[in-house]
Structure 1
């Protein structure tokens, strides 16, 4: 007589049971009544809930039968310290907004305290909206990295280069010396990494771009850059350099799979083909582009060419929020209008851009952006039982076209709980609001001549 015994249950730290798991890969897939098992911050299995209950003995079980579990959203371009400048110079064109208002105010307030407080406020906002990773572009990257690490938030922190003195650095050599110092400090961190962030082609010299290319190749770092943001930028480049910005960057050796090109509104077919050929990631920031009347990124044409697309909010001074659900909806809808094609940039493609596409932009696609065994548990639960998402016919369509960030209930980064039933873990909302108000008073007292 043969005796059979059930295999002992595997231990895991966390089992999340969801009405729907949206893994992002395979494209457009929705897994009904599935669970995700997490051990030491890593996803170890994605399987039907009934099987998960038999296979795993979890230290914590979170059951969300009316929710979709998605990868944490990736904000692929943002200036998070500028959250403290939300709304100070609205309804102005880009260069007047930047040169006449933003830069003068920044000059008066920028410093470690401003950067730390702005990032802390932004992390709270992002977590409440299901965002678990940011591609940061601002000054004082040493402070940025320390704050993101302390808050347990995943980030690619930018090392700025610009052709004029700032509070961060006074000369070209100092920008690069400080960049290497910050990179060396964070090069082996599991949560925070670095990239070069030259401001834009119109504020960075050929010599600095060549230096960035050399160092990015040596150190295996992305180059995160505003480019082709407006038609004016392209015209100015033709006058000054005799080349369009992307052609100039190509001449300098920067149009490679390390390039993260942000905005890309004023582009032609040859430039789109070049981005596809070289593996450039394009980050679309539709709401900032709309608000500053900067132009329209031809997302549908980039998508057809096979270019990897990501989505970013830009900073709160030009958006004015860090709402990746809202940004993704705008991106999908605007792409259709620009293409004149209602099938352009589908809901599944938009969600991919907001998750795995963003992970590719940040250089973290091997660890986040999809729900797969072996990846880190950066996850968000979205309650689909709310009035705003009823009736529920298609989960991914609802996530892109109907969900509001207020429907995010739970967030994990590296398997650590960051939002529980809508409540922030480890951050005091009242203290954040009080601190933001004192910054409002300080900024309001600044006179711009």
Structure 2
């Protein structure tokens, strides 16, 4: 702990401070001191004011929380937002998304779509996101320049994809990018086998061996629909999660995305392997894919994080809205009004996300020694009054338009709702131009 004689880079003085760890705590009139991108002091306001700081920020009527972590998405798909709505998953994929990807996705598409997604996420309070999309090297360059934190999961499928003619090429790219970015302070590389129905045993075993050697995460769509599970049982007499367990993929580094179908045996495998589940409620609702039983998983001790999925199936990258949906849906699914209360919902969107991505020692909560990944929500609006529990107001009564400031590793990336490193007007114009090209209309 520094002494007041140590000058700070930044001192933040919010009305409410929600550290997330310890759980359920709200600190009033406390300050957070930051030096070299790390949190070095947390304490009462009067104590905080004894420090000298290069910059002091008063944050009246604001709740300071750890930055939100969007644990699953396909960033560049923002450029397909709203293109093929109101369709079932396999129709949406096979007849619309896959053909559009084959036609349009190249390095420029990924660069422009990823930058658009990063801007939207920063404005919504997201300091870290997991991305699983084509041309991952381009996405990692966007992350590097923007200042946000990310996990880039390299997509691997049994057939050719944009940027890789076969799965071996995808694996080679993954290993190279992992080596290049091994010491990057904000980017982690993971392996992203798309789904059990698009990757066979041979390639899954290759992925497992390499991921084990590199101590890298595996990020995968699993049990997204009842149809997927039913088809696997019909064809292979085995549920997908059981197959992954048999192949040795389940581990604390395994991130199972969706998991809308969970039997007692499935749950036992998740618990035993200490795998994380990433819940994407709005995408699952919109595609009528099913409901992940969040409360059941939580009570069993499974780490559940939250993701928006891609903007093509959501249609926004609004993790605060997603968390509200998750809290409400968890209650309906569990048949209990006490399921996934507001404080646990915020934990799911912060520290649980960090745990799923293997970065909880660095981010996900406001603790001394962690990176200063922070977001300030303005609760001064009429729609937030009166405030009995600021965390309840945040989850149940606040939209992402209340995000006022955001820092990643102490760097101010959103200042009074303005992006400091990205040009919003330029991003908007570029996105509109893509929309005109893809829809075949020019104005």
Query: Which of the five TM-score ranges fits, normalised by the shorter chain?
Result: over 0.9
State yes or no: 1:246 paired with 2:241.
yes
How many residues matched?
439
Alignment of 1:106-145 (within 5 A): 106-145=101-140
- The structural deviation recorded for 1:121 is 0.5
Counterpart position of 1:46: 42
Contact kept, 8 Å, 1:33 with 1:65, in 2: the verdict is no
Counterpart position of 1:207: 202
Q: 1:32 aligns with which of 1, 18, 28?
A: 28
State yes or no: 1:161 paired with 2:152.
no
Q: 1:22 aligns with which of 18, 22, 28?
A: 18
State yes or no: 1:9 paired with 2:8.
no
Deviations 1:412-444 (A, max 9, x none): 001000111111112221111111110001111
Counterpart position of 2:427: 432
Partners of 1:196 and 1:378 in 2: how far apart?
A: 25
Q: 3-state SS of the aligned residue for 1:201?
A: coil
- The structural deviation recorded for 1:172 is 2.5
- The structural deviation recorded for 1:183 is 1.2
Partners of 2:375 and 2:304 in 1: how far apart?
A: 21
- The structural deviation recorded for 1:300 is 1.0
Contact kept, 8 Å, 1:132 with 1:378, in 2: the verdict is yes
Contact kept, 8 Å, 2:245 with 2:269, in 1: the verdict is no
Partners of 1:75 and 1:413 in 2: how far apart?
A: 14
Deviations 1:25-66 (A, max 9, x none): 111100000110000000001111110011x11000010121
Q: 3-state SS of the aligned residue for 1:431?
A: helix
Q: 3-state SS of the aligned residue for 2:21?
A: coil
In structure 1, stretches of 5+ residues that fail to align are 1-6
Partners of 1:242 and 1:140 in 2: how far apart?
A: 35
State yes or no: 1:409 paired with 2:385.
no
Contact kept, 8 Å, 1:28 with 1:396, in 2: the verdict is no
Alignment of 1:38-437 (within 5 A): 38-54=34-50, 56-437=51-432
Deviations 1:148-186 (A, max 9, x none): 001111000011110111122112221211211111111
| C-alpha RMSD over aligned residues | 1.0
Partners of 1:58 and 1:172 in 2: how far apart?
A: 51
Counterpart position of 1:4: none
- The structural deviation recorded for 1:277 is 1.9
Partners of 1:8 and 1:61 in 2: how far apart?
A: 14
Contact kept, 8 Å, 1:116 with 1:144, in 2: the verdict is yes
Partners of 2:135 and 2:439 in 1: how far apart?
A: 23
Q: 3-state SS of the aligned residue for 2:29?
A: strand
State TM-score, norm by structure 2. 0.98
- The structural deviation recorded for 1:8 is 5.6
Contact kept, 8 Å, 2:304 with 2:352, in 1: the verdict is yes
State TM-score, norm by structure 1. 0.97
Partners of 2:20 and 2:284 in 1: how far apart?
A: 27
Q: 3-state SS of the aligned residue for 2:256?
A: strand
In structure 2, stretches of 5+ residues that fail to align are none
Contact kept, 8 Å, 2:64 with 2:377, in 1: the verdict is yes
Q: 3-state SS of the aligned residue for 2:49?
A: helix
Partners of 2:417 and 2:161 in 1: how far apart?
A: 39
Range with bigger deviation, 341-350 or 83-92? 341-350
User: Using a 3 Å threshold, how does the CA distance of structure 1 residues 190 and 83 change in structure 2: closer, same or farther?
Assistant: same
- The structural deviation recorded for 1:229 is 0.4
Contact kept, 8 Å, 2:174 with 2:189, in 1: the verdict is no
Deviations 1:65-121 (A, max 9, x none): 210000000000010000010000000000000110001001111111111101111
- The structural deviation recorded for 1:9 is 2.4
- The structural deviation recorded for 1:240 is 2.0
- The structural deviation recorded for 1:346 is 1.0
Counterpart position of 1:3: none
Q: 3-state SS of the aligned residue for 1:84?
A: helix
